Structures are given as structure tokens and as C-alpha cells.
């Protein structure tokens, strides 16, 4: 399956404020002002605490495959947002947005207790949660 | 859902009832001290209360923790704060020395109000139970008795309570100094004394007014407020497993602080 890494949007999302995330860690390692879109194949899903991790293979701009790891919130919170453990499975074709790591590693955060970015699995979108600022910030 | 909740609370009441003897015995062996007595009105604080994300710091004027040193810290407290590498706030890092995040140490009573999970309150005449789905921590608040003398220093401390009109007042001492007050690393000592005042503002809203006093860490006490919304979700499970946390740290967080970039 042809996969593409689409650096579609180095979108400035400053409206998502400085620290939109909240879980058991902050967002210090991620560039929260940037969202990129990945297209590829899911290789593994860790549906576990403290955070769900979705592993996917996606090609970069030079057609090299990169092994991405996308962090989401914890299983219980994701269930309350409408996801289930079967929402994403190994072998699925995935289009996913993520805030990439600042250091350029193929790691990103795609969801926390306050937002979930766009995920389209085999053509079907999953529930998205907009980046509502935390109540005290 | 309501039946499930009632069943859960009944089962829990039976379970915790077996444990009620310990604080009762403790109270009997303590030297009597003046204890606040409850008013006759007992407010209904039941429900599953959702903690809203974002309550990062207990500084009432800086809940996001952007200026963690502005609390009235003593030199001892300031030194402790500066040694902290917290996961949130102005000094947030992916390489923290947060004892909870690094080792799954208990986060302490006050940080339990900072994680985006639910808790429920079970009221009985002699004890109140605060049950948190995060880590499945449960706190006992023994009603209408003083703190025992010569308390051990523990993770949760010794909590006593009484009602003042529609407010449940929880007074806690006897903490160890191994936890932080909040997610930006504000410290405390074993002299920490907290007063939690919980009241239902309306059917769907619970208010916590928290007063923190710790003469070793802070030059004077301070008070902060948070509210919690009634949730329709049943209580769930979110544990802290050291093996799961270490795996996540290795596969996600450590890779974002390493250099050079892609691996």
C-alpha cells in the first residue's frame, strides 16, 4: 500500500494555547504550534495506561518509511470520548494528525484529556475533540 | 446505570466497613482533644465528580503554574521547588523527577484533585470515604473526633471531618514529605496541614475550598478553590503500573528529549 507522509500543515495553532494538554505529563517534548498529517499503515496499538500509543509506518518526503509512534490519552478517557479498543487495529489504513516532537523524532501527541486530533481509519473518521482550553488557563 | 452505582456503593460499604475498626481504635487510644462537632444538617455530597483538566497549581492566582515561585515559600521550600523537575508549568520537562510519574509513588491527597478522572463520596455517620478512580485510592475521613497524638507520617495523613451547615470540612495532618502539592512541583513538609471544605453549589457542581498551611515550606497559609462537575459516567479504573509507565517513558518521552532527532 502506497503511503505518504503529508506535511500538509505546519499549521500555527496558537489558539490551542500554550499548554492544552493534561494527563500525567505535559507537552514539553512536542511542538504544539504545529500539526502534521500522516498517511500510512498501523503496525501496532498499545491500548494501555498511562497513554495509548499507536504505531504506524508512513513515508516521508523522500519516500523513506518512518516508524511513527502517536500518543493519545489513557484508555478510560478515550472511551469517554467515544473510542474503543477496536477503533484502530494493526493493518488499518490510517490518516492521522499529530503534534510532532520538537527534536524531530517520529513521535507525536494526537490527543490528551482536552483534545483529540483527526483520525481516519480505513476511510471512517473517529471522534474528534476540539482543543478547548483547560478551565483554569 | 443508577442500579449499578447503588450496587457498587453497597458493595463498597461492606468492604470498607471491615476496615473501619482501625481508625476507631486509633481514636480510642489517643489523648482526647477538642474536636469540631457536626451540625445536625448532613448535606448530600454523593455522585461521581469529574475533575476538570488544567488545575495544575494550587496557587490561587496562577493555576497554570506559570510563576511557581510566587507562592510564599520559605528558603527551605524554595530550595525544594528549584530542585523539582515537574511535568507541568513553567519548568515542565519530559525528563522529570516527579516521584509519581517516575516511580508510581502515591501522588498525595491534593494532587488527586488535579488528574482528569472522577471521584465519588460515600457518606456514613462515622466515616466519609473519598474514592478516586485514578489509582483506586480511597481516603477515610473519620467524623467528629480529634487527630490522635503521635501520628505516623503517611502518604494520605490522618483526616478528620465534621459538617458545618451544608459543608463537609476535612482537616488533615500527619503527612510524610514525599509528595508534591501539585503538578508544578510545589513542595510540602511533614508539617503540612490541609483543610478541605466541600459543598454542593447545585445539583451538578461540587466546590472545594482548600487551605494549605505548612510553616516549614510556606511563610503563611493560602487558600484555593476548584469545582467539579457531576458525571454520568460510571466509575472506572486507571492504575499506575511501574512497568507500563517505564515502557511509555522509554518508547515515547525519552525519544523526544534525546538528540539527534529521528531514530
What pLDDT, in 10s, does the model give residues B43-88?
999 999 999 887 789 999 999 899 999 999 999 999 999 999 998 8
Count of the separate structural domains present in chain A? 1
pTM for this model (two decimals): 0.82
Beta-ladder partners of A71 = A53, A109
Q: If you search the block for the grid coordinates 497559609, which residue do you land on? A: B221
B56 is written with which cell numbers? 495544575
Contact (CB, 8 A) for A54 and A88: yes
Average pLDDT over residues A27-37: 92
Q: Inter-chain contact B262–A105, Cβ cutoff 8 Å?
A: yes
Cα A38 to Cα A6: distance, rounded to the nearest angstrom: 6
At CA B199, angle to CA B13 and CA B191, rounded to 5?
80
Who contacts B81 (Cβ-Cβ below 8 Å, separation ≥6)? B68, B69, B73, B185, B186, B187
Q: What is the mean pLDDT of chain B?
A: 86
Q: Is the pLDDT of residue B11 over 90?
A: no
**Contact list, A28 vs chain B (CB under 8 Å):** 87, 92-94
Contact (CB, 8 A) for A116 and A110: yes
User: Which of A28, A71, A114 is the closest to B53 by Cβ?
Assistant: A114
Cα B92 to Cα A123: distance, rounded to the nearest angstrom: 37
Nearest chain A residue to B247 by CA: give it: A50
Q: If you search the block for the grid coordinates 515537574, which residue do you land on? A: B86
Q: Helix, strand or coil for residue A44?
A: strand
In this structure, what are the phi and psi dihedrals at residue A16, rounded to the nearest 5 degrees?
Answer: -75, 5
User: Which of A24, A105, A137 is the closest to B64 by Cβ?
Assistant: A137
Domain contains B177? yes
Count of the separate structural domains present in chain B? 1
Short-list B148, B18, B262, B236, CA closest to A79: B236
How sure is the predictor about B34, in pLDDT bands with cuts at 50, 70 and 90? low
User: Which of B96, B239, B259 is the closest to A103 by Cβ?
Assistant: B259
Domain contains A106? yes
Cα B69 to Cα B141: distance, rounded to the nearest angstrom: 32
Domain contains A120? yes
Q: Helix, strand or coil for residue B69?
A: helix
> Chain A 5-34, CB below 8 Å of chain B: which residues?
19, 22-30
Domain contains A44? yes
Range list of H helices, chain B: 2-17, 21-29, 75-83, 99-103, 242-248, 254-257
Domain contains B179? yes
At CA B57, angle to CA B106 and CA B117, rounded to 5?
55
Q: What is the pLDDT of residues A56-66, one digit of tens each?
A: 999 888 999 99
Phi-psi region of A91 (alpha: psi -120 to 50; beta: other; left: phi over 0): left
Average pLDDT over residues A99-105: 95
Domain contains B262? no
Domain contains A83? yes
Domain span at residue B146? 2-18+36-257
pLDDT of residue A27: 84
Beta-ladder partners of B60 = none
Q: A118 and chain B: CB distance < 8 Å anywhere? A: no
Percent of chain A with pLDDT over 90: 67
Domain span at residue A70? 5-125
Contact (CB, 8 A) for B217 and B74: yes
pLDDT of residue B41: 81
Q: What is the mean pLDDT of chain A?
A: 82
Domain of residue A111, CATH code: 2.40.50
Q: Is the pLDDT of residue B193 over 50?
A: yes
Domain contains A136? no
Q: What is the pLDDT of residues B206-224, one digit of tens each?
A: 999 999 999 999 999 999 9
Short-list A114, A130, A129, A4, CA closest to A56: A4
Q: A99 and chain B: CB distance < 8 Å anywhere? A: no
Q: What is the pLDDT of residues B91-148, one digit of tens each?
A: 888 888 999 988 999 999 999 999 999 999 999 999 999 999 999 999 999 999 999 9
Q: Is the pLDDT of residue B21 over 50?
A: no
B237 is written with which cell numbers? 479504573
Beta-ladder partners of B161 = B143, B170
Does residue B263 or residue B184 have the better pLDDT?
B184
pLDDT of residue B238: 93
Domain contains A132? no
Amino acid at each position: 500500500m502506497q503511503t505518504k507522509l503529508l506535511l500538509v500543515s505546519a499549521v500555527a495553532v496558537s489558539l490551542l494555547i500554550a499548554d492544552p494538554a493534561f494527563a500525567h505529563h505535559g507537552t514539553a517534548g512536542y511542538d504544539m504550534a504545529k500539526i502534521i498529517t500522516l498517511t500510512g499503515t498501523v503496525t501496532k496499538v498499545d491500548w494501555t495506561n498511562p497513554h495509548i500509543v499507536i504505531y504506524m509506518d508512513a513515508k516521508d518526503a523522500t519516500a523513506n518509511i518512518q516508524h511513527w509512534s502517536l500518543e493519545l490519552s489513557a484508555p478510560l478517557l478515550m472511551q469517554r470520548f467515544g473510542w474503543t479498543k477496536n477503533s484502530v487495529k494493526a493493518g488499518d489504513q490510517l490518516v492521522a494528525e499529530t503534534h510532532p516532537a520538537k527534536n524531530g523524532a517520529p513521535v507525536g501527541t494526537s490527543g490528551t484529556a482536552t483534545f483529540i486530533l483527526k483520525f481516519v481509519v480505513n476511510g471512517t473518521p473517529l471522534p474528534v475533540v476540539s482543543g478547548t482550553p483547560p478551565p483554569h488557563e | 446505570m443508577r442500579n449499578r452505582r447503588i450496587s457498587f456503593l453497597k458493595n463498597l460499604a461492606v468492604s470498607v466497613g471491615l476496615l473501619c475498626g482501625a481508625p476507631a481504635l486509633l481514636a480510642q487510644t489517643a489523648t482526647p482533644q477538642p474536636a469540631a462537632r457536626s451540625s445536625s444538617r448532613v448535606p448530600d455530597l454523593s455522585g461521581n465528580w469529574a475533575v476538570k483538566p488544567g488545575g495544575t497549581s494550587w496557587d490561587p492566582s496562577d493555576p497554570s503554574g506559570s510563576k511557581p515561585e510566587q507562592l510564599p515559600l520559605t528558603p527551605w521550600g524554595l530550595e525544594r521547588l528549584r530542585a523539582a523537575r515537574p511535568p507541568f508549568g513553567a519548568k515542565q520537562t519530559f525528563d522529570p523527577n516527579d516521584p509519581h510519574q517516575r516511580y508510581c509513588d502515591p501522588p498525595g491527597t491534593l494532587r488527586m484533585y488535579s488528574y482528569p478522572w472522577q471521584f465519588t463520596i460515600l457518606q456514613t455517620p462515622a466515616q466519609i470515604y473519598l474514592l478516586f478512580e485514578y489509582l483506586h485510592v480511597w481516603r477515610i475521613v473519620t467524623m467528629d473526633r480529634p487527630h490522635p497524638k503521635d501520628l505516623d507520617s503517611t502518604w494520605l495523613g490522618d483526616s478528620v471531618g465534621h459538617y458545618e451547615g451544608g459543608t463537609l470540612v476535612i482537616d488533615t495532618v500527619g503527612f510524610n514529605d514525599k509528595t508534591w502539592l501539585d503538578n508544578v512541583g510545589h513542595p510540602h513538609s511533614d508539617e503540612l496541614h490541609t483543610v478541605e471544605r466541600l459543598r454542593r453549589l447545585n445539583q451538578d457542581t461540587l466546590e472545594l475550598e482548600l487551605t494549605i498551611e505548612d510553616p516549614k515550606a510556606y511563610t503563611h497559609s493560602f487558600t484555593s478553590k476548584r469545582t467539579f462537575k457531576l458525571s454520568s459516567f460510571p466509575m472506572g479504573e486507571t492504575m499506575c503500573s511501574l512497568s507500563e509507565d517505564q515502557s511509555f517513558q522509554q518508547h515515547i518521552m525519552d525519544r523526544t528529549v534525546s538528540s539527534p532527532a529521528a531514530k
